[in-house]
A and B are shown apart, each in its own frame.
Chain A
């Protein structure tokens, strides 16, 4: 029985690639490989890639749904779809894009990059990370299983009652929505916990809180926001399910319930959520743009603080989704004011990016084009949001295509463009190969022009009075030609996305081999090989500034980060735990090895929700038993993780 060491002073060593220590580290961190490895891996890089791939598949599915809807709206009185099919399509388009693509893709980036950016060997809770992915995948499948049965959710992504109540929607459609969202909420919540603890405890020594990259700030703020908002709305979904199945009256008007209660509960989560799906993306730009401007980001502190302020204010603006519900004018004016003030943190970020471009020497790579294009789309989306913050104007704009335009500019503009740019930027690090630059530039222009031609006329459609979610419209309202332009533009944008996917698939095999740091980026991930070894860092680096790889050339101060020399930590899977603010070395963290319990627990949880959906209580019971056993297995104290004091 190996004697359990509880205290050891870590060796300081020099990292050489083929040194004996890297073989030992390889043994410690390599999973079994093959199918068993695939199911049981807890490596943050594997989970990150899976998040990215699954999220992009949902993006494509959501895109197909959008394409079918646009075909239906191309001309007045079109008969391609029935009203019910259209309702299910626009609901699944919304749910897929906002819940199954937007945050998961950012989780993909963050899961892959956080340990590399922070100088750690893995996330704080590797098994929780795997569990979070599996639950997300099963929630996606849970929502999509209803489609072939023709019983997909059909009341929009914010699912207003009483149309969502049993009296007007007696099928299982809305139960699939409610339970699916609670399941997805579990994945998001545990993911948020994982990110927050990783930020507080697993930074490389010396990387104090004001030296972490902006992507970290973005994801951290999003995680704190989700930690507060997602459990609350999961309760609201559960209340809706109880109303529908067990005759409670939370939202039932005839017995004292209130439809407005649902609107408030949903949007209190809704607005923080839409900030959670854009702040990390803004973080990607804030980290990627400086590399291509050949200079550090202008105003690191203002941008970091504006990210946090945006989320804090984000909790105080939700009624701007409900200006037309007849609430008292005083209340609405308050929320109108907060919705206008929230423009300021965004302004800080925009001017910081422009200043970085203006005072830097921009290098026109594809990634940079996406980041630059993002800035203008961000501003267009921002100002159209600012217009809806004015209560009386919103009484005309709300529930029309102006809002559809605004939400597409913000979500595609602020999430999709940075994500695609981020893939161009970090593809070499993920795969060791560069993506094709010329195809990349063509992809940008096709996507940028397609997007603007497709979605800018939606503003005009909104101004000429086209309401949201109508599956057809009569002639004579002037909506026909504009809808045609929107459809063509959106198809062009779709072509752009396909070009990007082709670029990714082709570059996997035939991309130019990329070194460790093809773009001469400043942050830690560029100090590792491409793709990084399974243990990330041979020795835990020490950090002395915000831009470790640019310190020499920025000649500020004389202490230097060192990625060649640091703590060895090769006794099993270990990484360095540091204090929260100043990141001083604090403890050696023993990391759990690959395990099946996350997958098992996720499967049992999914079975629990399927049992609840189908009212088969024995399945529910069985799932509960398996959940308990899997949890015990998961939390069983392991000697190898020195969780047992002998």
Chain B
């Protein structure tokens, strides 16, 4: 009888002991307990004002979204998208209304995570309000995570998820042609 106690028991016991060591946030709202940079670290990232195209794109390409595609961050990003009235301008399906469509691959001010972060934090010339005061960096990164989950953004390693023209990193910053807002 004793011989047979060992096999099925040990697995369950060892699993249990290392469980309490770390656990990721289960519910959508809790900030991920560990494994992710804290709010302070994120805001200290070398954002700097994006001057010319050359260094900014390289700089922007080097900064990934610290949340990556963490499902909790995407869910709370989607909740913020509705609560902060983004849906009013960009549409409840993010297909664009007064503001541009966030699901396609045309990014007037850059489709890299860091550039979208800056668009949200500092606002943009054609009416995008600046959210840096109302939302601390980690909340903005959650919004960026949600926008990335819509599939239109460029990934940090330059290979866009589904864009045809990877070099189209920041059209508006390069040329100042009067655009045709959708």
Contact = CB atoms under 8 A, between A and B. Distances in A.
Interface in B160-174: none
A170 interface: yes
Most chain-A CB neighbours within 10 Å: which of B11, B20, B21, B33?
A: B20
Interface stretch (A82-90, A211-219, A616-624): A82-90
For chain B, which range describes its interface: under 10, 10 to 19, 20 to 34, or 35 or more residues? 20 to 34
Given A50-B4, A88-B23, A57 B13 contact: yes
Interface string A52-85: 0110011011001100100000000000011111
Interface residues of A, number: 45
Nearest to B30: A84
B27 A163 contact: yes
Most chain-B CB neighbours within 10 Å: which of A137, A150, A151?
A: A150
A509 B2 CA distance: 9
Contacts of A53: 1, 4-5, 8-9
Nearest to A137: B8
Interface string A153-176: 010000000010011111101000
Nearest to A141: B11
B75 A168 contact: yes
A140 interface: yes
A170 B24 contact: no
Contacts of A170: 28, 71-72, 74-75
A57 B9 contact: yes
B22 interface: yes
A505 interface: yes
B15 A147 contact: yes
B84 to A, nearest CB: 17
A144 B12 contact: yes
Contact of B15 (A83, A144, A163, A166): A144
B90 to A, nearest CB: 19
B32 to A, nearest CB: 10
A171 B33 contact: no
A166 B75 contact: yes
A148 interface: yes
A149 interface: yes
Contacts, number: 106
A11 interface: no
Interface in A18-48: 38
B133 interface: no
A149 B26 CA distance: 11
Interface in A381-423: none
Given A61-B13, A147-B16, A150-B22, A54 B8 contact: yes
Nearest to B28: A168
Nearest to B8: A54
A469 interface: no
A49 interface: yes
Given A144-B16, A145-B15, A84 B2 contact: no
Interface string A218-251: 0000000000000000000000000000000000
B18 interface: yes
Most chain-A CB neighbours within 10 Å: which of B12, B22, B30?
A: B12
A431 interface: yes
Contacts of B71: 170-171
A171 B24 contact: yes
A149 B12 CA distance: 14
A580 B33 CA distance: 59
A412 to B, nearest CB: 20
B12 A58 contact: yes
Contact of A171 (B9, B16, B22, B72): B72
B25 interface: yes
A225 to B, nearest CB: 27
Given A54-B8, A87-B27, A163-B27, A65 B75 contact: no
Given A53-B4, A54-B8, A171-B72, A154 B26 contact: yes
A513 interface: no
Nearest to B10: A57
A84 B27 contact: yes
Interface in A492-513: 505, 508-509
The 8 closest A-B pairs by CB, nearest first: A150-B23, A170-B71, A147-B19, A57-B9, A154-B26, A150-B24, A170-B75, A173-B26
5 contacts: A49-B1, A88-B26, A170-B28, A171-B25, A505-B2
Given A64-B16, A81-B20, A150-B19, 14 more contacts: A38-B4, A54-B8, A84-B33, A87-B27, A147-B19, A167-B78, A167-B79, A168-B27, A169-B26, A169-B28, A170-B72, A171-B71, A430-B1, A508-B1
Interface of B: 1-2, 4-5, 8-9, 11-13, 15-16, 18-30, 33, 71-72, 74-75, 78-79
